[in-house]
Amino acid sequence: METKYIFVTGGVVSSLGKGIISSSLARLLLSRGYSVTIQKFDPYINIDPGTLNPYEHGECYVTVDGHEADLDLGHYERFTNIQTTRANNVTTGRIYQSVIDKERRGDYLGKTVQIIPHITDEIKRNVKALGNTGKFDFVITEIGGTVGDIESTPFLEAVRQLKWELGKNALCIHLTYVPFLKAAKELKTKPTQHSVKMLQAVGIQPDILVLRTEVEIPAGMRRKVAQFCNVDPRAVIQSLDAPSIYEVPLLMHAQGLDDMVIELTGSEVRSQHADLEAWNNFLRRLREAKEVVNIGLVGKYVELQDAYKSISEALLQAATYCDRKLNLVYIHSEKLTEADVDEKLAPMDGVIIAPGFGQRGIEGKFVALKWCREHNMPTFGICLGMQCMVIEYARDVLGMTDANSTEMDPKTTHNVIDLMDEQKSISNMGGTMRLGAYDCRLKPGSIPAEAYGTEMVKERHRHRFEFNHEYRRAFEEAGMKCVGENPETGLVEVVQVPELDWFVGTQYHPEYSSTVLSPNPLFISFMKAALKRAEKKEK
């Protein structure tokens, strides 16, 4: 089958969940027997979101090949169970960089380099790059931003050209918002009509409209939208608020989104039936879980919950597969002190010490870790959280009172976390961390080895600093064991205090590989430990 290109655009307002709609469609097409990939085009000028503040753009997701990506790629992986790469996330910055590089090399010699055709051609080339591998029946391309933004204009122009060139093999799904005016008790479709007009003004006729709404949109109203916007009435689909984002594929399937896409692209029908058995099993457990598990997440970006998206989703998946309802409590590390740590952490069944950068909020993490260690609380340190575990242990157990990471205190006499020599000369901030998936060999019998059921794993990284080898022996003798290491470099990947029930820190980020259909084993193991503690408390 020829590769089909589905473009997902958005209008009226941002944050409508284009990523969730794209992911849901991908899940449905997979369930109908097609191969699918999703990519995101972001209109900002940053080369990648790696240097963006989590408050601005939420979490930075990391792909196996070490690309710092938009958090939507996390949704794509969690919904589809298929890994993404650098090719799945392109920004305006990357497009311009590559056009400017070509200009300097002389590739356009004699020509004036312009947005049309040079930038748009480069966008088109990137849109088709994954399709040209021949591996996918469908390539879903999400265009970031909203129609009418200055930044997204070149992307929309590229979509217009591609739709023209590809004919039936391309399709545009436009996502809009239908507000409900409480005072008038009325749903309003005017913003949708205007948004579609704006899309038509740049030459794109949407084929399917997905209307985000908080209340049911009557069929008559959907028909009206269809008439105004030149689309088939069956192709006007509502996306009602759902109790969980993972319900969205079912809501879309019930309205025939996958059928419409297959029909409009003239795709051969692989399977009349959507195989959603495993997906439904997860959802059933999610809906039926009544008993609560309380997990505290200690971090400094708690105001914006998207900053810890992959962790909160990995926890939700783990809790669901343990048949528990997740109560995730965000605990601000800047505000946590010895005076209130007991009150804040004692009600928890497990505690996560979050990743992060810089000094701010770090002392609160030490306070939490000391309390957790002394109360045998199931504790999971991730990346900076693991580094804090090491520092706190050095200070309190090994008696190195000024132990620190050289990220926080370059002059510390006990640099238990430090830069590796080869990283010391790096001056660029963007894309220069240890990024992407690396092998890790686990110690037989350790918690992670038992959890994964294997001694060799591959997990993703995003950090500069490392456990300092010079202190390894001292830590091991004092009771903190290095139970995971990189087989080639010997870098410490996982620490554990075996004396405690579940006290594990990973230099890598296991949350990035956790998906709905294959939850991360270490999160499951942590969740089981939390349940054990909860049960003990009940007795």
| Catalytic sites, residue numbers | 383, 509, 511
384 binds ligand GLN (CB under 6 A): yes
**Taking the complex as a whole, how short is the minimal distance between the CB of residue 519 and ligand GLN, in angstroms?**
21
In 3D space, the residue among 316, 311, 368 whose CA is nearest the CA of residue 345 turns out to be 368
Residue 463: CB minimum distance to ligand GLN, A? 3
Candidates 119-127, 262-270, 363-371, 461-469 — which segment interacts with ligand GLN by CB under 6 A?
A: 461-469
Q: Which is nearer to ligand GLN, 226 or 420 (CB)?
A: 420
- The answer to the question of residue 61 lying near ligand GLN (CB under 6 A) is no
Q: Calculate the CA 335 to chain-centre distance.
A: 27
| 514-517 long-range Cβ contacts below 8 angstroms, 24+ apart | 514/78, 514/310, 514/313, 514/314, 514/317, 514/318, 515/77, 515/78, 515/79, 515/80, 515/81, 515/317, 516/78, 516/79, 516/81, 516/246, 516/279, 516/282, 516/317, 517/81, 517/278, 517/279, 517/282
Which of 266, 358 has the CB closer to ligand GLN? 358
Residue 383 in contact with ligand GLN, rule: CB under 6 A: yes
Number of residues that bind ligand GLN (CB under 6 A): 10
Q: How does strand 325-332 pair with strand 292-299?
A: parallel
Q: Which two tokens stand for residue 383?
A: 């990346």
Among 94, 300, 464, 533, binds ligand GLN (CB under 6 A): 464
Here the tokens at position 525 are: 């193991």
CB of 356 to ligand GLN, least distance (A): 5
Binder to ligand GLN among 4, 212, 309, 462 (CB under 6 A)? 462
Query: Does position 512 bind ligand GLN by CB under 6 A?
Result: no
Q: How far is the CB of 418 from ligand GLN (least distance, A)?
A: 10
Could you tell me the two tokens for 465?
């600093």
Q: Which is nearer to ligand GLN, 43 or 361 (CB)?
A: 361
392 binds ligand GLN (CB under 6 A): no
Give the other-Cβ count within 10 Å of 264's Cβ. 18
Q: What gap in Å lies between CA 507 and CA 381, rounded to an integer?
A: 8
Residue 404 contacts by C-beta under 8 Å, 6 or more apart in sequence? Answer: 391, 412, 414, 415, 416, 417
Q: 155 φ, ψ to 5°?
A: -65, -45
Minimum CB distance to ligand GLN, residue 60 (Å): 9
Residue 73, phi-psi category: left (phi > 0), alpha (psi -120 to 50), beta (remainder): alpha
Measured at the CA of 216, the angle between CA 212 and CA 217, to 5 degrees, comes to 75
Residue with tokens 């070490």: 66
Longest C-alpha distance within the chain, in Å?
81
Nearest Cα to Cα of residue 90 among 115, 52, 125: 125
Residues in 414-433 that interact with ligand GLN by CB under 6 A: none
Measured from the CB atom, is 238 or 506 closer to ligand GLN? Answer: 506
Asked if residue 295 binds ligand GLN (CB under 6 A), the reply is no
Q: Which span (335-343, 460-468, 474-482, 526-534) binds ligand GLN, by CB under 6 A?
A: 460-468
With binding defined as CB under 6 A, does residue 505 bind ligand GLN? Answer: no
Residue (118 or 464) nearer to ligand GLN, CB: 464
Interaction with ligand GLN in 199-218: which residues (CB under 6 A)?
none
Structure tokens at 187: 């749903």
Cα dist from 204 to 123, 129, 149, 214, 402, whole Å: 16, 22, 15, 27, 62
Instruction: Indicate whether 407 belongs to the interface with ligand GLN (CB under 6 A).
Output: yes
- Out of 79, 246, 371, 465, point to the residue binding ligand GLN (CB under 6 A): 465
**380 counts as binding ligand GLN under rule CB under 6 A:** no
Q: Counting contacts by CB under 6 A, is residue 357 touching ligand GLN? A: yes
Choices 69-77, 163-171, 234-242, 458-466; region in contact with ligand GLN by CB under 6 A: 458-466
Does residue 355 bind ligand GLN (CB under 6 A)? yes
Under a CB-based contact definition with an 8 Å cutoff, are residues 391 and 403 in contact? yes
Piece in contact with ligand GLN (CB under 6 A), picked from 94-102, 209-217, 272-280, 351-359: 351-359
228 contacts ligand GLN (rule: CB under 6 A): no
Q: Using CB under 6 A, pick the residue from 356, 436, 484, 505 that binds ligand GLN.
A: 356
Q: Least separation, in Å, of the C-beta of 417 and ligand GLN?
A: 7
CA dihedral for 98, 104, 107, 108, sign (positive or negative) = positive
- 1-17 burial string, b = 16+ CB within 10 Å, else e? eebbbbbbbbbbeeebb
Of the pair 326, 383, the CB lying nearest ligand GLN is at 383
- 333, 300 Cβ separation under 8 angstroms: yes
Report in angstroms how near the CB of residue 437 gets to ligand GLN at its nearest: 15
Q: Residue 68 or residue 157: which is nearer to ligand GLN going by CB? A: 68
Helices (H), 378-420: 384-396
Cβ proximity to ligand GLN, 77 vs 511, nearer residue? 511
CB 459 within 8 A of CB 513: yes
Output 96 or 357, the one with its CB closest to ligand GLN: 357
| Residue 172, number of CB atoms within 10 A of its CB | 23
Please identify, using beta-carbon distances, which residue of 126 and 520 lies nearer to ligand GLN.
520
Residue 463 touching ligand GLN (CB under 6 A)? yes
CB 61 to ligand GLN: min, Å: 12
Q: Give me the least distance between CB of 75 and ligand GLN, in Å please.
A: 20
Closest by CA to 11, choosing from 122, 165, 174, 170, is 174
CB of 493 to ligand GLN, least distance (A): 13
Chain mean position to CA 75: 5
Binding site for ligand GLN (CB under 6 A): 355-357, 383-384, 407, 462-465
